[in-house]
Amino acid sequence: MITPVPDCPHYQRNCDKKAPCCGKFYPCRLCHDANYQGPNSDGCKTEIMDRYNVTVIRCRQCLCEQPPTNQCISCKIQFATYFCSICNLYEDDPKKDVYHCDECKMCRRGIKEQNFHCKVCGICLNKKNQDSHKCLDQIADTNCPICLKNLKISTTYIAQLPNCAHFIHTLCLNQLVKSNIRNCPICSIPIIEIEDYDLLAEAAKIIIPTHMQNLKVSYLCLDCRQTTNDICFNYYLKCSKCGSYNTKQ
């Protein structure tokens, strides 16, 4: 008896893949990876399924096992509108655009003609940012500073922060903005503007405890990157160089 495979939350397709590591059928590699429970569990000992070495797929309609192609050799149905024979990726969602990048060595979200591969950053980016983005060697092959998932192999969109070279998932960036966090989580470079007069009003309301009123501190301005020394402590410190309140003690 063939065990039914649950629907895939990541992709739409009419076939399942046989994982080369454990020999079990999964809708996609992400479903396999989500099922990983550690090297000491009774399940698969491989955390990330090898997408490139899948040699067997199974039609969801007639259950025929066959080599990876985009049409069932038995019932002749098409498995997906998009099929990559290198990544063994199937996607039948009409709302998702997918293409294969030879330099990324994997399939990427988006329209190929609208993107380019930056060899320094190691990732595909929108052509609108080709002349303006900041390069840092293989910066995209790191983890998102918010969700800690690898950016390069991500199936969701990523973006480069506007004033530094670090990348982040666009959904995670939206969370930062909604939380009123104005600095890059990695280097503290400002990513959004906050009106200084709002902070000035807040600073005026604060009563400094008596024992801290003569305390001298040094602080770094995260806007102009200059350091100010020997200033009386306050919860909101104004940069003596550029006037910004975006400072860190």
Sign of CA pseudo-dihedral 219, 220, 222, 226: positive
Choose one of 26, 60, 95: the last residue of a domain.
95
pLDDT tens per residue, range 185-237: 888 777 765 554 455 555 555 666 666 667 777 767 766 677 777 666 665 66
Q: Which domain holds residue 13?
A: 1-95
In a domain, residue 185? The reply is no
pLDDT tens per residue, range 113-128: 999 999 998 888 889 8
Residue 230's SS3 state is strand
Token look-up 């983890």 returns 143
In a domain, residue 28? The reply is yes
* Length of the chain (residues): 249
Choose one of 72, 95, 118: the last residue of a domain.
95
Please give the C-alpha separations between residue 133 and each of 78, 128, 147, 173, in angstroms, as whole numbers: 40, 9, 23, 17
The count of structural domains within the chain is 3
Same domain, 210 and 233: yes
pLDDT tens per residue, range 229-243: 766 666 566 666 666
| pTM for the whole structure | 0.70
Q: What percent of the chain has pLDDT over 90?
A: 38
Same domain, 140 and 79: no
Same domain, 28 and 72: yes
